[in-house]
């Protein structure tokens, strides 16, 4: 099976089943792409029994290939990635995405979540 982000965004239905399924977003960062903001990627995932087995993200502008496999770790251009180990949230950097859904109820939830996050004394 295949699930394509652009197909779903265009209104095609999609149901994740237990069948082996490729999930593909050929222009991950469509809004960035449309506005010529250079951070876009090609994202591919493979799912079996509704569980992700592996994923690959190619960051085109940076020429970086990110890959991860269930139980095997994550890599960037073949080098193993690891979390920073930072324990103090006040020294952390918060990154967020608003998404594209402009439904009033969805916006209300997103802003409420962001308000809670921004009340934490984070580094930036």
* Residue 124 belongs to some domain of the structure: no
Interval 20-33 mean pLDDT: 91
* Residue 48 belongs to some domain of the structure: yes
Q: Write out the two tokens for 1.
A: 């099976």
pLDDT of residue 7: 67
Residue 10 has pLDDT above 70, yes or no: no
Same domain, 23 and 74: yes
Same domain, 93 and 74: no
Global pTM reads 0.76
Q: How many domains does the chain have?
A: 2
Alpha-carbon span 32 to 98, nearest angstrom:
13
The answer to whether the annotation marks 88 as part of a ligand binding site is no
DSSP SS3 for 14: coil
Same domain, 70 and 97: no
Q: Read off the pLDDT of residues 61-120 as tens digits, 9 standing for 90 and up.
A: 899 999 999 999 999 999 999 988 888 888 888 877 777 788 999 999 999 998 988 888
pLDDT of residue 97: 78
Same domain, 25 and 45: yes
Same domain, 11 and 67: yes
The answer to whether the annotation marks 63 as part of a ligand binding site is no
Q: How far apart are the first and last CA of the chain?
A: 41
What is the residue range of 95's domain? 89-119
* Residue 65 belongs to some domain of the structure: yes
Same domain, 60 and 99: no
The answer to whether the annotation marks 28 as part of a ligand binding site is yes
Distances (CA, A) of 79 to 65, 66, 70, 74, 76: 10, 9, 16, 8, 5
Q: Tell me, what CATH number does 29's domain have?
A: 3.30.540.10
Same domain, 102 and 59: no
The answer to whether the annotation marks 27 as part of a ligand binding site is yes
Same domain, 25 and 59: yes
Residue 6 has pLDDT above 70, yes or no: no
């Amino acid at each position: 099976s295949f699930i394509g982000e652009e197909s779903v965004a265009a209104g095609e239905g999609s149901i994740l089943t237990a069948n082996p399924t490729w999930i593909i977003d050929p222009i991950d960062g469509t809004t960035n792409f449309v506005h010529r903001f250079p951070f876009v990627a090609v994202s591919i995932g493979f799912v079996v029994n509704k569980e992700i087995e592996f994923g690959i993200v190619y960051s085109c502008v940076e020429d970086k290939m990110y890959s991860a496999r269930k139980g095997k770790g994550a890599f960037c251009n073949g080098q193993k990635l690891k979390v920073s180990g930072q324990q103090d949230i006040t020294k952390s950097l918060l990154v967020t995405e608003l998404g594209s859904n402009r439904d009033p109820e969805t916006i209300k939830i997103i802003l409420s979540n962001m308000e809670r996050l921004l009340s934490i004394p984070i580094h930036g």
